[in-house]
A and B are shown apart, each in its own frame.
Chain A
């Protein structure tokens, strides 16, 4: 044993000697580090800040931050529609239920009571011009007693109110309660607990009042952010599922309890370290970074499999446990590290996307991968050098060495001169079709409602209900209108604003616009006996300023707002509408008035889409450039680069074709997929090519070398593909839409990258690799 050790030490690389000669110290270090980071990880808390989900550096968002009036930030009002299934809202029972809900909400903590609005609020009024002048009053007056006569009065009041389509559904089968939240002053540092508030609303409104006949629909930011918070931690359950499935697979793969548990434990340690480290660095869990443990775990297992595969192989050849571990380490640490470094760099390219959650994803995932180098390339062989593999594992591996392998024999034909051209032809055809079918690929979210959540989620069904029955849209774009102080009601500037409004109103995707101009015209109409000929903006400045009052402007009257309600937030819509505003601004901006695109959820979406459009190509070049460079650095051969990278490119192209075909747009959530897919997918090629190279050096011809590669590492590669796919495949069941989308696409990429590596790589090698060049090296 000692003899063997000294022998093996002689030609061993420095790193190997460091690792294996100081095993006990390293084990102690790993235990201590795991205890410390485990404690840190237990302190991790969910943390979703809205600002992190949006490209805060984009000028639209900057404009919104700079120009939006204090306290007018969106996201502070909940809308609740109370629907009656049978009949319409003009009946005593409905109005009583509505009053009960109104009162219930009134007494909830966190509600800004003074601005609570529903048909029962005195501020929701009707108005009419009568011969005796203007008249008006609350929709449900003090004399209301539920009698049929009073119900008729209510109906009449609604008909002459401006609230149809806003507080009362166009079909009179529901009405809205708007619930403004009492948000704490930002300066106190106190934060509003949206999740808790939404839970209380659910319990006190939906659970309490929803019946066969009464349905409750709850929408707007406070609700969906709470649903998001509720949903994204669900993914913890999936982690457990992925863990168990992987354990079972590992056991069937190795037929060895130790070989199943040790890589699993090492991978879990990697996850613990990763979580511990990000907590120590001050990050929390958000809907994106919560996915990183899956990736870390899956990558850890896939590299662990390579290690235990090698150890079993060496053990089957009769090596003792320490030597088996050392030889495996020696064989694998270079391709392993290379693979992990490309993973990390693949993740780092995500940093190009200027959205904080994605940048944090890039960082935390890179940290996770770096951690795997320690846990699965260092700790795992050390542990295996102590535990060794079980007898059954050795006999299993031995039986495999000698056994006929019909599957691998078959696959090895991919390298044969007959099959290779056919494979290349198929590959080319697939690539061609992929390029063709990705033509419809869109940037942005393609589904209506809140794209973070599933289209069939309760929230999005509620949004669809409100969009279908009211004339209000949940897709709003804000155009700021900047003037000198006190000049925001200047007639000439407002004429420009009116021209922009009219331009936008003519776009098919614009539902309506609202601004000071709308206000002034409406006021003039109301004050002139509701005579439509007076629904016009007067050039009489004093009159005009009086008509506007203080609506739609900031405090010092230097900024006005044009609120553009859109029918949808499709990328085409946003691009066209923002384009209209930009070109109008270019032709109409003056020192007196400038038109500046800014906030609203559609403004945020538009900014995000623009950032993605800018980032996506850059990211592709970057990730492929880096991966190609690293592969070249390892193998010193451009032929190797082509053999390894081409299957990845095919997979990326197919992935985009699938996105186009099943209607997933390129968005914040799917943009990282290709970087992740390529970064991790390159592992297969690296492992296969390095093994292939080693057999070619032994003087084998290509087909034989490839068959041997498959017999040794092919199974590990296939298994790696499986574990990675399972790790991300469970996301498909997430209640969060983008996690599910990412799950679908990453599963596809991991599986196809594996297929590409096993099938296309040898076919390319047939034409690019000359065995005689390697032989004898």
Chain B
């Protein structure tokens, strides 16, 4: 009897051994298969448990649904004010930098390599509308155009039709400008779009690195470059904000020359005409939001900069903070009650009201970089950032 048991045990042990052996063999056989490379623009985003807990760059609302986007083509959404999250079907693995919804169903997301995605079901499934390599991308024309101009300018230098030194300098300058432009627009192909705003289901705008600015009137199926409407040669267009009255604002990167001041571009006719607003601020702006309660527009940027405008962006004044901070402020919102919440790097959570003379800066102990914030229906807030989704109280503390 004992022996029977012994035998049975050893049989099962032998089977186990055999299985182990097989496994070991499969492991040790070096599979040197040639697996084809699938580009991030062609590979669907993979559903992964940590999608909502890793780098997310923007969050918005689609009705009461919260929708956030981030690295590797991640889109996650929540129907319970941020307590639980579902990962959406996305056809690409490109980093998504911004998301915008015109209503509970219709929305767009933009990101790396000028990717533009659209959704009609509140963010559950997405389709690709544009990337910098598709045939009908305006980027091809921009690059081609700039290259042709560069070649022409080069030809002009090589075959000058004048001996006048002044005119020669003009020709030379024209060449350098054409050469620079060609170099800048070439970068459009491999650079990100940084923000998106739609006026309605059909007409919208997206802005991005190296002065990218595109416009659509067919819900994003085709795009036209509007970069020439802005007086921006190569600075990043970091954020775009539109208001119902026709105001459009684009906040940009501070130019890379000495004593440069950051520029805001403004339009009051939904983008048909634009003007430069020269500010007095020496640093880049990353975010824009409107506070209907005080009818003010806020912008925020590097080293804790917060500025506001009471005249639709015509002029801006710096908003004081209770402490000096060198961490950047990235984006923010006005709550339903008109309070101000601004998030940024290194756990920086800035709060105040429309009437505050100074905003309060709170540094979260986890020092997480935060990129965006929304107000959930339950009165709490949801932030995105380098560690993904965080539900926080109105003071920025973890819930």
Contact = CB atoms under 8 A, between A and B. Distances in A.
B5 A642 contact: no
A320 interface: no
A536 B95 contact: yes
Contacts of A538: 190-191
Interface string A405-435: 0000000000000000000100110011001
A532 B326 CA distance: 16
Contact of B113 (A128, A502, A539, A585): A539
Contacts of A646: 2-3, 6
A159 B324 CA distance: 14
B2 A764 contact: yes
Given A540-B187, A620-B13, A533 B345 contact: no
B257 to A, nearest CB: 12
Interface string B5-37: 110011001101100110010011001111111
Given A505-B50, A534-B192, A129 B97 contact: no
A567 B98 CA distance: 33
Contact of A129 (B1, B35, B328, B371): B328
B50 A506 contact: yes
A532 B9 contact: no
B95 A589 contact: no
A81 to B, nearest CB: 21
A614 B385 contact: no
A432 B5 contact: yes
- Which of B14, B71, B192 gathers most chain A CB within 10 Å? B71
A496 interface: yes
A588 B31 CA distance: 10
B14 A617 contact: yes
Contacts, number: 132
Contact of A160 (B20, B33, B346): B346
Contact of A428 (B2, B71, B190, B367): B2
A424 B27 contact: no
Nearest to A597: B27
A71 interface: no
A204 interface: no
B67 interface: no
Interface in A479-506: 492, 495-496, 499, 502-503, 505-506
B302 interface: yes
B48 A506 contact: yes
A594 interface: yes
Contacts of A532: 55, 57, 330, 345, 369, 371, 385-386
A531 B328 contact: yes
Given A131-B283, A531-B328, A534-B192, A428 B37 contact: no
A457 interface: no
B71 A610 contact: no
Interface in A605-631: 610, 613-614, 617-618, 620-621
B391 interface: no
Contacts of B303: 129-131
Contacts of B192: 533-534, 536
A349 to B, nearest CB: 15
B34 to A, nearest CB: 5
A226 interface: no
Given A431-B2, A505-B50, A530-B328, A617 B31 contact: no
B32 A589 contact: yes
A669 B369 CA distance: 46
A contact residues, range: 35 or more
A617 B302 contact: no
B37 A431 contact: no
Interface in B177-194: 187, 190-192, 194
A531 B370 CA distance: 10
Contacts of A435: 5, 9
B252 interface: no
A324 B27 CA distance: 61
A536 B97 CA distance: 10
Interface in A550-586: 582, 585-586
Contact of B345 (A495, A505, A530): A530
Interface string A503-518: 1011000000000000
A208 to B, nearest CB: 34
A653 interface: yes
B49 interface: yes
A495 B40 contact: yes
B27 to A, nearest CB: 6
Contacts of B263: none
A649 interface: yes
A590 B34 contact: yes
Contacts of A589: 31-35
Nearest to B96: A533
A529 interface: yes
Contact of B16 (A492, A588, A617): A617
B302 A586 contact: no
B187 A131 contact: no
B20 A614 contact: yes
Interface string B100-120: 000000000000110000000
A591 interface: yes
A59 interface: yes
B147 interface: no
A586 B31 contact: yes
Contacts of B247: none
Contacts of B385: 532
B6 A506 contact: no
B201 interface: no
B284 interface: yes
Contacts of A496: 37
Contacts of A116: none
B2 A618 contact: no
A586 B187 CA distance: 35
A269 B190 CA distance: 78
Contacts of A128: 326
Interface string B36-48: 1101100000101
B31 A536 contact: no
B254 interface: yes
A182 interface: no
A532 B57 CA distance: 7
A424 B1 contact: yes
B282 interface: yes
A164 interface: yes
A502 B254 contact: no
Interface string B193-234: 010000000000000000000000000000000000000000
Contacts of A131: 254, 282-283, 302-303
13 contacts: A130-B326, A160-B327, A502-B46, A502-B54, A506-B49, A529-B253, A533-B57, A533-B371, A536-B192, A582-B27, A586-B31, A590-B36, A649-B6
Given A160-B326, A503-B48, A531-B330, 19 more contacts: A131-B282, A131-B283, A131-B302, A431-B5, A431-B6, A432-B5, A435-B9, A495-B39, A506-B48, A529-B302, A530-B345, A532-B369, A533-B371, A536-B192, A540-B190, A586-B33, A594-B32, A617-B20, A764-B2
**Top 10 nearest A-B pairs by Cβ distance?**
A617-B17, A131-B283, A540-B190, A536-B95, A533-B97, A131-B282, A586-B31, A506-B50, A506-B48, A492-B37
Interface of A: 59, 128-131, 159-160, 164, 424, 427-428, 431-432, 435, 492, 495-496, 499, 502-503, 505-506, 529-536, 538-540, 582, 585-592, 594, 610, 613-614, 617-618, 620-621, 642, 646, 649-650, 653, 764
